[in-house]
Amino acid sequence: MALNGFLEFFQKGKTFRPRKRFTAGTIKYSLHKQAQASLQSGINLRTVVRLPEGENMNDWLAVHVVDFFNRINLIYGTISEYCNETTCPTMSGGSRYEYLWADGEMYKKPTALPAQKYIELLMDWTEAQINNEAVFPVSTDVPFPKTFGTLCRKILTRLFRVFVHVYIHHFDRIVSIGAEAHVNACYKHFFYFVQEFDLIPSKELEPLQEMTSRICKDKN
């Protein structure tokens, strides 16, 4: 499923929050366009996620974190009106997995929250990281912080939990609006990327393990 089709489909409906964009003329903008072109060419997703020769890993990571943030926002936006304190009183992925929120500020200890509140806080927190130019520098004159890789792992792990919740609790809605192929394509791209660079602990991936083995069958 080409990226253009994904964006066209989801931008017709409700979005959870505005998309973050890259500044034209920057390295990250060029990498973003390069990644988009590869996706639209229909080549194997396992190949698409590999670091282009001569490119900086942190730049490649930053581009994908922002892109995945944008796309997962769009996906959640399509089901957000069906995700509330009554339908989803906890942030879970089935009966075996429940996620607690902690951010070291408002929530200093891991706290159980309704899924909608958890995801709202997750997106606010992620957006704050992306908008912080000391953390996600927009200029080549500003170096990436030494903790950048660790932060991106945390962001991607938390964004994965949105996939878990959507697939397990709201997939009927995704199917009813004809978005299944689009969501699956986005998930495959996300999964191959985090797998390529070992960005999410295997234990975190367990809730969607069965589905992942079914839809992520692309050969190397």
Q: What is the pLDDT of residue 218?
A: 65
Tokens of residue 46, six digits: 């396992």
Would you say 32 is a known binding-site residue?
no
Q: Is 88 annotated as a binding residue?
A: yes
Terminal Cα-to-Cα distance of the chain (whole angstroms): 18
Class of 3-215 in CATH = mainly alpha
Contact 126, 169 (CB under 8 A): no
- d(CA 35, CA 54) in angstroms, rounded, equals 15
Q: What is the mean pLDDT of each run of 10 residues along the chain (220 residues)?
A: 49 50 50 49 76 91 92 92 96 93 95 97 95 88 93 98 96 91 90 97 95 80
- Any known ligand binding at 165? yes
Residue 26 · residue 138 · CB < 8 Å: yes
Query: Tokens 């988009």, residue?
Result: 36
**In the structure encoding, which two tokens stand for residue 145, read together?**
């912080």
Q: What's the pLDDT at 191?
A: 96
Domain residue spans in the chain? 3-215
216 is in an annotated binding site: no
Instruction: Please give the model's pTM, rounded to 2 decimal places.
Output: 0.83
Q: Give the residue from 93, 89, 80 showing the smallest Cα distance to 114.
A: 89
Alpha-carbon distance 183 to 72, whole Å? 9
Question: Do 119 and 165 touch, CB atoms closer than 8 A?
Answer: yes
| pLDDT of amino acid 13 | 47
- The pLDDT value recorded for residue 45 is 81
